[in-house]
Structure 1
Amino acid sequence: MLSFFPPCYEDELLYSVLARFHQRSGNSSFKSTLIDLFDTDTILAVTDFTSGLDTLCRKTNMLYNAKELIENHSLLPYYRPFLTKEINEKVSNLLCTYNSTGVHISMGIIQTNVSLPQYLKFCVSCYEEDETTFGEAYWHRSHQLPGVYLCPFHCEILNNSYIPFKKQEHNQHYYALSNIDLKSCEPCGPVDYIEKQRGIFKKISEYSLNLLESKVAPLGLRRLREVYVSYLAERGFITSSGRVRFKKFSASFKGFYGEEILGFLQCNFTEYQEDTWLHKVLRKPRISCNPLRHLLLLLYFNQDTKVYTNFGCEKNKYKPFQSVTYPCLNKAADHYMERVVKELKISRDSETGKPVGTFICNCGFIYSRKGPDNSLEDEFRIGRIKNFGHIWERKLLELSNKGLSRREISAELGVDYNTVKKYLHILENIEQEKLDDSAIKEFNSSSIQEKYRTEWLNHMKLNLNQTRTEIRKRKPSVYMWLYRHDKDWLYKNLPPAINKVGPNNRVNWQRRDLEIVKLIEREVDNILAIDPPERVTISKIGQRTQKSALLEKKMERLPKTKKVLEEVVESIEEFQIRRIRNIASKKREAREEVKEWEIIREAGLRPEYIGLMSETIQNEIKFDLY
């Protein structure tokens, strides 16, 4: 148990608290401090995500708990909105243990192209205020975020210390801010340029601080995409089907910021590329993106970080026609003006690009209008009637039979005079045709049937030795009429069916099994020789040997083939190991240092496999050292 532990100040990095502990402890070495704090001297002094929190809290007699330290003295709240709930929980658990490296990998910080700060930064005014208020200065966590060049409290340009943010050497040392030489420190960026773009840098600093302090729940990239798409829709960058107009949006986004500042913030992109960071955020997001880039999107949309805080209250999904159900505007129906329409089809107007909604009611009434709907009144507007439906048509005939004039009918049904005239003419003709057809069918049906039966029987007598198929081909029209209208009689008056027995072509499966084994062995050697490596799978072997059907459906007849496949087919883990070794081998041949993060990136390891492959990667690094 520790005899003392310094208080944690507002907005202070936990690294800074531990540096002040070392300063007061009187320890002659940093390893002694690590043992005091964590019961081990192998832990690293990480600036942004200090791990081993369970042990630290226990050693301080639970003066603070792990959750408090994570929320108020680490950078996790800054990244949390862009993580899934599962990743957030995993990172929190890693911080409680001794795995700070796993934190950066799990959150995707290593994979992003936005670099972490080179040095720990500080604000001179904060330094002086903290000394006056607390008697000592400390490292503020809000100063250490990507893209933050101005202090969010004083709007002054931050200074770089000479303490590396990500230490390569002396990575177990804790350096207190009060021990650095202020005179040797310089501004963290080009002063003239930061002053020129002060408005944007000020917003980035404020938004970054808000993320740290707002304690937003993990939302995940897929849910955040819905927020961004709703704002894109308001600006006309979404098609009626919900697709992003990337070319127009990319040009507008780049025009808003300019290439210079996007390049300075490591957020630039080529306008006509199809795999930029904008695409990765706004398509189906699978790859993590630095929070700085999300903040740039918010600035472009003229929104603030409250969007993330109020996420659950937002209607974020883009819907040009907002309601769930829509009114039926068929004046002939009993449910007129009631919200009974559930079927909606959205298309795009070819001239204006605006969405067009087609509303389909069960009564057969179909109407459409251009969107989007901007008010409740818009939902009761008809652009064009595509179909009146059976209820409207029946009502039209009823009103006509009652003796109403066409003008009276048009007023009753909400259509113009010419529409009533047109549809009355069509419907009256249809009714008359139905009556005529019914009478003709009733008169002719028995005589037609007798005619076809007689013709078929005469045809059968002339072709007594013919098969069913041969007879059918000679009189196809007679056969088809009887098949459709008199099937039972037809089947009773056909020649008996002939059962054909095909030849018995037996397969020598034993020989085929041996042949396929040889093919597999040859193709596996070819697959293993491919660079970059490809995984050995049954489907790939089947594709290359052109034996996919046999390998999928006849494996029980091919025991030797089955045994060989079990030996040569790679699991995902086996393939990842082979790929890691291949990358490490190439680096050794090129006399390059084998680094963990480079292997992870080049092997394209997904987060769930990084932990499984950790031992293999470390073995390759150790091999490189020898």
Structure 2
Amino acid sequence: MLNFPAPYPDELVYGILSRARVRFCVTSPKRLLSGVIGSRSVISSVNFPSRLNDFTSINSLNLPSPIDLIYGHTLFPLYSPFLPENRRLECLNHMQFKSFGSVHLASGYVASLIPKLHVMRACRDCIEEQLNTVGEPYWRRIHQIVGINHCCIHGTPLVNIQPYHSMQHRHEYFPLQTQQIETFSPQILISNPKWLDEQVCWLLYRGEQQSLSFEQWTNLYRYLLVKNGFAKGCFCNYPLLKEAVESAWSEEWLRSMNLFPNETESNWLHKITRKHRKSFSYLEHLVALYAIQKDIKLSEVMDRGRSLVKSNIKTVKLTTFSKTKMRENQKIWLNQVKQFGAKVARENGYGGTYLWLYRHNRDWLLKINNKYKRPIPVVNNRVDWKRRDMEIVRALIRIIDKHFDDVSGPRLSIKWLVSQLDTGTSVEKYLYKLPLASIYLARYSESITDYQIRRITQVMIMTRPNILPRWQILRLSGLSDERMTQMTCEFLDSLLANFWALRGL
């Protein structure tokens, strides 16, 4: 059995697999996945890798436990403190087993305002140290964090090295090579307060801890706003807090992170100072906390949040009412809910009845509403799907024309063709609304048999006028008898039989 490379401190799981690819001299991404994880369908992920249980069980000699891998070699520690405890445990379970991308949704990564990082980055000084200490460079997770543009250790600007696209390279793990960094120069980046680097480093290395609840986060922000003079009675003094955010952080950096506060009620800064009903990203919390109190530490904030108890629920004395009025309102509301549903009934002039029942007999009201729940069809007219369908077909025609004569190109599968589009993810999700694109992809996409025959054809063109033995053709084309389809096998046998017949053998 090959000796699997042990992880270096602060190395990504992505980096461990990329070094294993170099050490084992594996050129096929799926062959690497099959050997080290036991599945050929694993999708590479820089942030939240999955199937870590299989990964550690197969390579148990040199790898820590799955939980240690998650908190020591992924970016999940940036998100876990700000998730509810049940959601944090759910994400941990997704990362240990087959998740189908669920951890990206459950962690809030997909819906976050923070822009996604589509390039792998590194620090020149860190690479030089790695070469001197361990003899090879590797991807560090501290360099792949959105919002951190400089190395937290050396203070030098990070260099964009390897583009990362989950659609085009779904199973690929690219190693960090010293030749790559020599061809790139650091970009002119916006400097951040050193406080941000310190708090992000603390999040990465804090280890597994229980997270705060939404109610604790709500009480914590209320406490901080009152303590630092950003409260106006029982509410947040939003203009004052907005001014503090703009003075603490540069406008250019806030806009690049999609965090520049505005006056709308749905703005993230408004929501984070109100009752928490959803999670916020690490960058939203850090921007708000630094504006509220410059010398604050996230470790002290988390400890303070754990000490906050649940707020007392105020009891409201209900007014007296007659049973006759109760029966009348219940009868009216029941007839309307059966006919229209709760939401439509409220909007059609029965909002007062709803409000009266909610105040005097809420349990009955919620039970009836849930019993006669009626889904409201939502028609989205923001997109002209017919026009978009035509545009996508034209783009697909250009892509296929460009690669049609390329015998050595990749397989023109539906997945690959869609990944070449600028809106590939949207097309893949709403393909059922694009009938022309669906028909075009089904007609002109390349099947496995077509691709295998094209690979054999490429080998025949490269070796002409000679004909190699059958086993050598299979090796050069990357095929085997087990992986070839029946039609491909018949094509190759017929081709070789015709050739030897012409030679008179």
Q: Name the TM tier (shorter chain).
A: 0.5 to 0.7
Distance change in 2, residues 1:182/1:546 (3 Å)? closer
2:236 to 227, 235, 244: 244
- C-alpha distance in 2 between matches for 1:97 and 1:587: 39
Q: Which residue in the other structure is 1:56 paired with?
A: 55
Q: Where do residues 263-342 of structure 1 align in structure 2 (5 Å cutoff)?
A: 263-270=255-262, 272-300=263-291, 301-302=293-294, 303-311=296-304, 314=307
1:3 has 2:25 as partner = no
Distance change in 2, residues 1:617/1:262 (3 Å)? closer
Distance change in 2, residues 1:308/1:13 (3 Å)? farther
Tell me, yes or no, if the aligned pair for 1:120 and 1:161 is still in contact at 8 Å.
yes
1:540 has 2:353 as partner = no
Distance change in 2, residues 1:539/1:44 (3 Å)? closer
Distance change in 2, residues 1:36/1:585 (3 Å)? farther
Q: Where do residues 31-46 of structure 1 align in structure 2 (5 Å cutoff)?
A: 31-46=30-45
Q: Which residue in the other structure is 1:139 paired with?
A: 139
Deviation sequence 1:502-553 (CA, Å, 0-9, x none): xxxxxxxxxxxxxx99xx9xx9xxxxxxxxxxxx62552686598999xxx9
Deviation of 1:316 after TM superposition, in Å, equals 8.8
Q: Which residue in the other structure is 2:486 paired with?
A: none
Deviation of 1:37 after TM superposition, in Å, equals 2.1
Structure label with greater radius of gyration? 1
- C-alpha distance in 1 between matches for 2:120 and 2:284: 21
Deviation of 1:618 after TM superposition, in Å, equals 7.8
Distance change in 2, residues 1:97/1:618 (3 Å)? farther
Using the size of structure 1 for normalisation, the TM-score is 0.52
**Which amino acid counterpart does residue 341 of structure 2 have in structure 1?**
T
Deviation of 1:58 after TM superposition, in Å, equals 1.7
Tell me, yes or no, if the aligned pair for 1:221 and 1:281 is still in contact at 8 Å.
no
Distance change in 2, residues 1:308/1:625 (3 Å)? farther
Q: Which residue in the other structure is 2:321 paired with?
A: none
Q: Where do residues 333-352 of structure 1 align in structure 2 (5 Å cutoff)?
A: none
Tell me, yes or no, if the aligned pair for 1:539 and 1:548 is still in contact at 8 Å.
no
Distance change in 2, residues 1:229/1:543 (3 Å)? closer
Deviation of 1:64 after TM superposition, in Å, equals 2.4
- C-alpha distance in 1 between matches for 2:102 and 2:162: 26
Q: Which residue in the other structure is 2:106 paired with?
A: 106
Q: Which residue in the other structure is 1:262 paired with?
A: 254
Deviation sequence 1:530-579 (CA, Å, 0-9, x none): xxxxxx62552686598999xxx9xxxxxxxxxxx9xx97655xx6xx65
Tell me, yes or no, if the aligned pair for 1:161 and 1:180 is still in contact at 8 Å.
no
Identity %: 22
Deviation of 1:4 after TM superposition, in Å, equals 2.3
Tell me, yes or no, if the aligned pair for 1:222 and 1:285 is still in contact at 8 Å.
yes
Deviation of 1:117 after TM superposition, in Å, equals 1.8
Distance change in 2, residues 1:211/1:539 (3 Å)? closer
Q: Which residue in the other structure is 1:610 paired with?
A: none
Q: Which residue in the other structure is 1:202 paired with?
A: 194
1:14 has 2:13 as partner = yes
Distance change in 2, residues 1:596/1:281 (3 Å)? farther
Deviation of 1:116 after TM superposition, in Å, equals 1.9
Which segments of 5 or more consecutive residues in structure 2 lack a partner in the other structure? Answer: 315-334, 358-367, 393-417, 440-505
Q: SS of the residue aligned with 1:206?
A: helix
Q: SS of the residue aligned with 1:160?
A: strand
Q: Which residue in the other structure is 1:214 paired with?
A: 206
Deviation sequence 1:463-507 (CA, Å, 0-9, x none): xxxxxxxxxxxxxxxxxxxxxxxxxxxxxxxxxxxxxxxxxxxxx
- List, as ranges, runs of 4+ consecutive aligned residues in structure 1 with deviation greater than 4 Å: 312-318, 541-549, 568-572, 582-587, 592-599, 616-619, 621-624
Q: SS of the residue aligned with 2:388?
A: coil
- C-alpha distance in 2 between matches for 1:289 and 1:587: 33
Tell me, yes or no, if the aligned pair for 2:33 and 2:42 is still in contact at 8 Å.
yes
1:223 has 2:216 as partner = yes
Q: SS of the residue aligned with 2:344?
A: helix
Tell me, yes or no, if the aligned pair for 1:13 and 1:74 is still in contact at 8 Å.
yes
1:190 has 2:188 as partner = yes
**Which amino acid counterpart does residue 128 of structure 2 have in structure 1?**
E
- C-alpha distance in 1 between matches for 2:248 and 2:352: 54
1 or 2 for the larger relative contact order (CA 8 Å, sep ≥6)? 2
Aligned residue-pair number: 368
Q: Which residue in the other structure is 1:86 paired with?
A: 86
- C-alpha distance in 1 between matches for 2:345 and 2:305: 49
* Farther-moved stretch of structure 1 (216-225 vs 12-21): 216-225
Q: SS of the residue aligned with 1:262?
A: helix
Q: SS of the residue aligned with 1:288?
A: coil
Q: Which residue in the other structure is 1:28 paired with?
A: 27
Deviation sequence 1:97-152 (CA, Å, 0-9, x none): 22252111111111122102231111111111111111111111011111001111
Distance change in 2, residues 1:229/1:147 (3 Å)? same
Distance change in 2, residues 1:170/1:542 (3 Å)? closer
Tell me, yes or no, if the aligned pair for 2:215 and 2:310 is still in contact at 8 Å.
no
Q: Which residue in the other structure is 1:625 paired with?
A: 438
Q: Which residue in the other structure is 1:527 paired with?
A: none
**Which amino acid counterpart does residue 286 of structure 1 have in structure 2?**
R
- C-alpha distance in 1 between matches for 2:302 and 2:250: 29
Q: Which residue in the other structure is 1:530 paired with?
A: none
Deviation of 1:305 after TM superposition, in Å, equals 1.9
Deviation of 1:621 after TM superposition, in Å, equals 7.6
- C-alpha distance in 2 between matches for 1:116 and 1:220: 26
Root-mean-square deviation over aligned CA pairs: 3.9
Q: Which residue in the other structure is 1:604 paired with?
A: none
Q: Which residue in the other structure is 1:339 paired with?
A: none
Distance change in 2, residues 1:101/1:256 (3 Å)? same
**Which amino acid counterpart does residue 48 of structure 1 have in structure 2?**
N
**Which amino acid counterpart does residue 209 of structure 1 have in structure 2?**
C
- C-alpha distance in 1 between matches for 2:346 and 2:299: 54
**Which amino acid counterpart does residue 217 of structure 2 have in structure 1?**
L
- C-alpha distance in 1 between matches for 2:299 and 2:351: 58
Tell me, yes or no, if the aligned pair for 2:147 and 2:257 is still in contact at 8 Å.
yes
Deviation of 1:48 after TM superposition, in Å, equals 1.2
Deviation of 1:310 after TM superposition, in Å, equals 2.3
Which segments of 5 or more consecutive residues in structure 1 lack a partner in the other structure? Answer: 319-323, 325-342, 344-515, 524-535, 554-564, 600-615
Q: SS of the residue aligned with 2:8?
A: coil
